[in-house]
Structure 1
Amino acid sequence: MADLKYDADAGPEVGEIGDLPEPLPAAPPEPAAPPEPVADPGEDSRTDRLARAHRLLAAHPVADGYSGLPWALRRLSWFDLELGESAVDTDVPRMREGHVGALFWALHLPEALDGDRAVGATLEQLDLVKTVVRAHAEGLRLADASGPITDARHSGRVAVLPGPAGAAALGDSLGILRSLHGLGLRALTLSGVSWASESGLTRFGEEVLREMNRLGVLADLSGASEDTVRRACAVSKAPVLCARSAARALRPHPANLPDDLLAALSAVRGLCMVPLTAEQTGPSVRDVADHLDHVREVAGPECVGLSGTYDAGAAHPQDLSDASCYPHLIAELLRRGWPESDIALLTWGNVQRVLREADFKAREAQRRREPSTMKIAELDG
């Protein structure tokens, strides 16, 4: 802008003093202008961080490790996830707002279901997942590997991965495991059965894990006993994950992991996916960030991920009430100084790595061994 120039008032010519004009009466002072409002620098920073979080998530969306949506949808007579569905925490508009690119749809069952009833109910849920995805083809796409997940993202859809299912769904049969995998199952939780109990993995449990490695089914160890976690880390050739586990050092929930198990998970390049639940992590977004800080510090940035745990019957921290809220969490991590490279691993990169490595190990195992025909009675009888 050009400088403004003011002409000085020349006034009367210099002459006799008596020739000077009478001074004008002083003008009344103008009222003072109200002070300009001063922006709160903290508020500006929060706004900037949130905008930065949206930009970062647009490039590295969330691969969410756990959704209870299949069971939640069973109670609804009608729903539309593409237009929006207020009866659940997760729908396509909110996932797009939260930059969710991939989502594991859990097939867990109420504890009262076991045996043949558990097998049947799991098959029904798998059928429901496929039916829902087909009915919402503009927003959702089934995927079972890293490549199809990326393809779904590039086409503007959310990739849906069926699993984890409960171990009871196998009915102690490796043939059922293969059938479930053929129908799209991608992860299985190793707990709550005789071969994966408080005492750890039995010989048959180890055979189940080897067959999971051969198929490319991920082992989920959330809620498993410490002995099961340690043995699974020792036996599995593919990375294992804990789909709903935070840091027990910060909150003593039984599904949360103590530091020695976080270190064991890191040693096998596994993945601890921190749930956004008030019970496991605390009532605020900062509590969740505390757990992410701790897991990253103990296990490393390549071993931490996210699980919304929406529609699973859990209460959620403030500002993280549904699938649209991930930018608030990422903004908090930016406030704490997380580098963008670590956030990119947290949201997207680590899940992609685990899926790629599991697929690679499966191809290797399929060249070396035939499908297992072992029976539980032969190994644990």
Structure 2
Amino acid sequence: MADLQDELTATAEIGELDELASPTEEAPEPPADDTLARARALLTIHPVADGYCGLPATLRTLPWYDLELGDSSVDTDLPRLRDGGVGALLWTLRALPGTAHAEHPVTAVLEHLDLSRQVVADHPEGLRLARSASESCDARDYGRIAVLLGPAPAAAIGDSLATLRALHTLGLRVLSLTGTSWATEAGLTRFGDEVVREMNRIGVLADLTGASVRTARRVLALTKAPVILTHSGAHALNSHPDNVPDDLLADLGAAKGVCLVPCSAERTGPELGHVADHLDHVRRVAGPESVGLSGGYDTGAVHPDGLADVSRYPHLIAELIGRGWPDSDLAQLTWGNVQRVLRETEFAARAAALRRPPSTARIELLDT
């Protein structure tokens, strides 16, 4: 087992990091000026929960791969995940453009779910499928990397709440609310409202990346659970259409949602420092409880210099240490905020399940 896996068995709540990092004979504290060593030490306790990984879609295009020993055909393999201090991954179930079933999202998501389960089963010493925050923590404590399934495109439910429930049963935990007739530039339709309510009831997180401002505001007003943006930067720094304006970031922070800033040259900028700039901005506007990390690896995206693959997360954390981020904020950024959102979504689902039965709403009855 790799060193990082052994070290991940240590657990701590946010705020305990200073105590755990105090010098001992076995593990002396790194020098104060050695920010990379400090970053690696922090990640052994609070590993990265990476909010957007495209590995399943990439693996479907390869005739052969070896994630255990490492594979140059992908950005994400077990040696680099361990080197990068990654403890959890959200695997996007979106098909790559131009590939088989790219125009058939329901089929694509089902095939991605099937492949994801097989990949995890083939790597039991490195990966563990997780359906909840507690299962993510269990995976971390046993030195495994938790794999959560989602986001999937909203089109994958086929305008059917029964299909949404079926996908949840198969493991789906995040749905992106864009690209459908019920989540548009004009906002949510009546059926869209019902989709959000049903997501709350069963425990599926709403991903607002790419959603219109009107859709995002309606979701924030309606949802009883937190929301996330799985790969969005700050619009004030980069005008990419998936990035978030400051007023919406402030609303997200007030609702205790999380914006996961991507390692994407297109969305954040061509240098590692640009990603750090976006993290600084989101933290300042939305608050330290509302910022997280999203690699965007194996999605076909171009990555900033210094962040070529998942092994480079310690260098990003070292940059933030150099900018004065306290350990408590870094612990929330890497692990705590994503875990909190997962837990609160589960709590909201338990409460909602007591109040309402499965919805039988149909789009042709509500949106005509």
**TM-score (structure 1 length as normaliser):** 0.86
SS in 1 for 2:311: coil
Write the mapping of 1:21-170 to structure 2, written as runs, cut at 5 A. 48-110=34-96, 117-170=104-157
Q: Does 1:174 align with 2:161?
A: yes
Q: In the alignment, residue 334 of structure 1 is paired with which amino acid? A: I
How far is 1:111 from its partner?
Answer: 6.1
1:375 equivalent in structure 2: 362
Q: Distance in 2 between matches of 1:45 and 1:151?
A: 31
Runs of 4+ residues over 2 Å off in structure 1: 44-47, 109-117
Quote the residue 1:243 is aligned against: 230
> Would you say 1:231 and 2:231 are equivalent positions?
no
Rounded to whole Å, the distance in 2 between the matches of 1:127 and 1:265 is 33
1:339 corresponding residue in structure 2: 326
Per-residue CA deviations over 1:208-260 (Å, capped at 9, x if unaligned) read: 01000111100000011111111111111000000011000001110000000
Q: Which amino acid aligns with 1:81?
A: L
1:138 partner amino acid:
E
Cα contact 2:94–2:108 (8 A) shared by 1: no
| Alpha-carbon distance change, 114 to 135 in structure 1, aligned in 2, over 3 angstroms | closer
* 3-state SS of paired residue (1:138): coil
Structure 2's unaligned 5+ residue stretches are 1-29
In the aligned structure 2, how far is the partner of 1:320 from the partner of 1:47? 22
Aligned partner letter, 1:53: A
Matched, 1:293 2:291: no
Partner of 1:356: 343
The residue that corresponds to 1:268 in the other structure is 255
AA matched with 1:49: T
CA distance in 1, matches of 2:73, 2:222: 42
2:171 equivalent in structure 1: 184
The DSSP-based 3-state class of the residue aligned with 2:233 is: coil
Cα deviation, 1:158-183, whole Å, max 9, x if unaligned, reads 00001000011010000000000000
| Distance apart, 1:114 and its partner CA | 8.3
> In structure 2, what residue type is equivalent to 1:277?
S
Cα distance in 1 for residues equivalent to 2:109 and 2:174: 13
CA distance in 2, matches of 1:114, 1:312: 16
Aligned to 2:186: 199
Provide the rounded CA distance (Å) in 2 between the counterparts of 1:313 and 1:116. Answer: 18
Structure 1 residue 120 displacement after superposition: 1.3
Q: Report SS of the residue matched to 1:214.
A: helix
Q: Does the 8 Å contact 2:101/2:107 carry over to 1?
A: no
**In 2, are the aligned partners of 1:46 and 1:331 still within 8 Å (CA)?**
no
Letter matched to residue 184 of structure 1:
G
CA-to-aligned-CA distance 1:130-174 (integer Å, 9 cap, x gap):
010001111000001111101101111100001000011010000
Sequence identity of aligned pairs in percent? 62
Aligned residue pairs, count: 338
| Alpha-carbon distance in 2 for matches of 1:98, 1:88 | 15
Q: Pick closer, same or farther for the CA change 1:252–1:114 going to 2, 3 Å.
A: same
Amino acid at match of 2:339: Q
Larger Rg: 1
Q: Distance in 1 between matches of 2:88 and 2:33?
A: 26
Question: Greater shift after overlay, 325-334 or 112-121?
Answer: 112-121
* 2:204 is the counterpart of 1:217: yes
| Conserved 8 A contact 2:102-2:108 | no
Match of 1:312 among 291, 299, 303: 299
Q: Secondary structure at the match of 1:141?
A: strand
1:109 positional shift = 2.7
Contact 1:164 1:220 in 2 (8 A): yes
SS in 1 for 2:149: strand
Distance in 1 (alpha carbons) for counterparts of 2:360 and 2:205: 20
Partner SS, residue 92 of structure 2: strand
3-state SS, counterpart of residue 334 of structure 2: helix
Query: Partner letter of residue 301 of structure 1?
Result: P
Aligned amino acid, residue 281 of structure 1: T
- The amino acid that maps onto 1:84 is G
**Residue number in structure 2 paired with 1:255:** 242
